[in-house]
Each structure stands twice: as structure tokens, then as C-alpha cells.
Amino acid sequence: MTLRRAAMAVFVIAALALSGAFLLIEQAKLHFHQPGLFDSAVFFHIPPGAGASQVAADLATRGLIESFYGVPAALFFKEGAKRTNQSQSIRYGTFDIPAAASMADILAIITNPEASRPRFRVQFTASQTGGKISVAERQAGQSNFQEIQNISAGEAIPADYFHLLDHESSIIFWVSIPEGLTSWQIVQSLKWVPFLGGESGEVPPEGSLAPNTYEVVKGLGRQTLLRDMQVAQEDILTREWEKKSDDHPLETAYEALILASIIEKETSIDGERGLVASVFVNRLRKSMPLQTDPTVIYGITEGQTPLGRGLRQSELKRDTPYNTYLHKGLPPSPIANPGRRAIRAALNPQDSDYLFFVADGKGGHAFAETYAEHKKNVRIWRQIESVAPRKN
């Protein structure tokens, strides 16, 4: 009887121990999923190469995780990551941790390959006259950036800009190239960008750079960026050439690039590109001169500076290869760097019988099939000009 009672006692003690262990495990799971004690969203940055131990320690230091029954918070979190097979899935980057996020929530965020988002954005936007840098900051838990600094080309760059670049790791860098800039203007603009490196090298061929917003890394070489733009433009032109209309008068993709650059300089309105393209294609089919001012201007400035005024009659009569009043057909090269939409319009113009267009005073253009209609539109435009002269 004594042995049987002893055995029973051991069994009961073991059962109680197992029950207690099970209860403790369940409590640990609940603790891992219970809301945190911090009441506002925060940024949490994980540097490249950081392992589970360092991440757990940093979370504990920030007060984003809690201990459990005497088990230090960092050790408890690390063990939770290990038991859920996520220790090796932790990503580097900057993460938004919502208010009151549980340890399980935090682990899910920092192992999500798409969850990292920068705190700061430094964006350079090129222009005809140089460009500008915009520095913007995002608050934790918010998606929109708010501009905190704006620096125009030629201005002295303030010290706090360099301090930000030297001490903040959560920054995304963008370079934005608008449609219609010349290759010379783009190269000159990039020379000023302080977060790029190296020399610009020779100016790439006109039209060969794809306008777009490029995400770059700090210190990226200017020549590397320019090559990336060229590769992108080649890809766009190749893809769009394959989709051109069947009866198009253009014979090569390069001719399409030339025409697209003219369209780009004539209008920036989406709904007009196809109509402007139709005017020039109709003129090419009829062997009419294109008679477009932007080509004449390019022949004068060589794409280096804005003309800054209207064309003079003497300039309209000046014999350059780009004077499409004197020479039929396309000019010898593009006159700017066109975007995808202008290239697409050049290769797939809208079906029309238009041969003329002029500004309509509302930001767009008035189109005409006959010269008589066109003269009426010109008279209307000149009346508008006389009341409110254009600013050059």
C-alpha cells in the first residue's frame, strides 16, 4: 500500500507540474499577443546585418516589448521569434510600429519584406534652369510626406541638409526628370545634385534619356544614372515601335523619337498629344513643312537655354537644319527628351484631317483642317494675347 500511495503521489505531482507548465506556456502565448503599453506609433530602424538578438535588445531598450515572469523582454521576444520560426526572417529597414502593438504584431511587421518605409525623402527635380531639392518627412503611422526644406539650384545648401544625410539612415532618394528637357539641360541639372557622385561625362544624344522619377542610392554616379535613363528610353522606344499604327509614314524608330520630341514641346496635355501628332503626320503625308516653332528655337539655342521670348521674324527666316518653316520633313535629331506618352502619340496619332493648330488661350490649342479656319483661330488668339500677354 505504501508503494502504491507513493507512486500515486509522484503521478499527481507530475500531472500538476505538467498542468502548470502547460498553463505557463498558454500564459506566455497570451503575453506575446497582448497589446503593448506605448500609446503612439513609432519608427523602429533595423540596420543591415542585425540579428534577432540585437533587434530584441533594441526593442527592449525602446520599451516596445515587455518581460514575462522575470524573463527579460529581449530574451522572451527572441524565444518567441525562434519558436515561430521567424528568427531568420527579420528584415532590415525602417518600420512603422503602431500604438499598442503586441510582440506578435511587431514580429509580423519586421519580417514583412514590404513593410519597410523611409522616414525622409530627398527629391531632386530637374528643370530648364537647374532644378530644386525638396526634403520631406513622414510621421510614424502616416503615409504622406510633408516638405520641410526646399533648395533651388544655385542656392547655398544649408548645413542641416548635410547633417540629415550624415546622421539619418532612413532616407529615400529620388531624381525626377520631367518630359521635354534637353539632354544638355538634364546633364547641367545633375551636376548640382549633392547626393550624386562622379562626373557627368559627355552629354548623351538628344532624345535618348527617358523622363521619369528614378529611385537612387546616395552617392550613385551621375554617368551611371544617365546610362540607366538611356537604357530605359531604348526599352520604351522598342516596345512602342512594335505597337505603331499600320499605315504610319515614319520609317524608323529614331524618326518616331524625333516626332515625339516635337509633340512633347508643343503640348503637355494628355488629351491633345494624339491630335498634335495627327497634324504633323498629316503634314508629312502631304509633304507640307511642319512649321513648328520649337524646332526653330532648338536651332537657335541648341537646347542649352530657354529662349525666354517670342521668335523674331529674322529667326523664322534663319536657315538652320531645325527650321521646319524652310525645310520639309523632320529635323535631323530630336529637340528634347520625350516621355512614353509622347512617343506613343507619335506612333499612334489620333485619326483627324487637321493640318493646323494654335494656342486657344485656355492652356490648350484650337485645331483646324483648312488655312481659312486656322486664320480665324489665330485672330482669336491674338485678341487674347493683346488683353493678357503671354509671359515668356
CB 173 within 8 A of CB 218: yes
* 207 and 179 inside one domain: yes
pLDDT score at 389: 53
171-177 and 365-368 beta bridge pairing: unpaired
Could you report the per-residue pLDDT of 89-139, keeping only the tens digit for each? 999 999 999 999 998 999 999 999 999 999 999 999 999 989 999 999 999
pLDDT score at 3: 53
For residue 375, the enclosing domain spans: 246-387
Could you report the per-residue pLDDT of 48-80, keeping only the tens digit for each? 999 999 999 999 999 999 988 888 888 889 888
17 domain residue, yes or no: no
pLDDT above 80 (res 24): no
| pLDDT level of residue 29 (50, 70, 90 thresholds) | confident
* 54 and 84 inside one domain: yes
For the purposes of burial, counting CB atoms within 10 Å of the CB of 235, is it exposed (0-12), middle (13-18) or buried (19 or more)? exposed
Determine how many CB atoms are found less than 10 A away from the CB of residue 32: 22
129 domain residue, yes or no: yes
* 127 and 219 inside one domain: yes
38 domain residue, yes or no: yes
| Structural domains in the chain (count) | 3
* 381 and 270 inside one domain: yes
* 152 and 261 inside one domain: no
Mean pLDDT of the chain: 88
Beta bridge partners of 125: 132, 176
* 82 and 126 inside one domain: no
* 312 and 361 inside one domain: yes
83 domain residue, yes or no: yes
* 294 and 382 inside one domain: yes
* 253 and 310 inside one domain: yes
15 domain residue, yes or no: no
CB 309 within 8 A of CB 182: no
Q: Which amino acid is at 168?
A: E
More confident residue, 4 or 333: 333
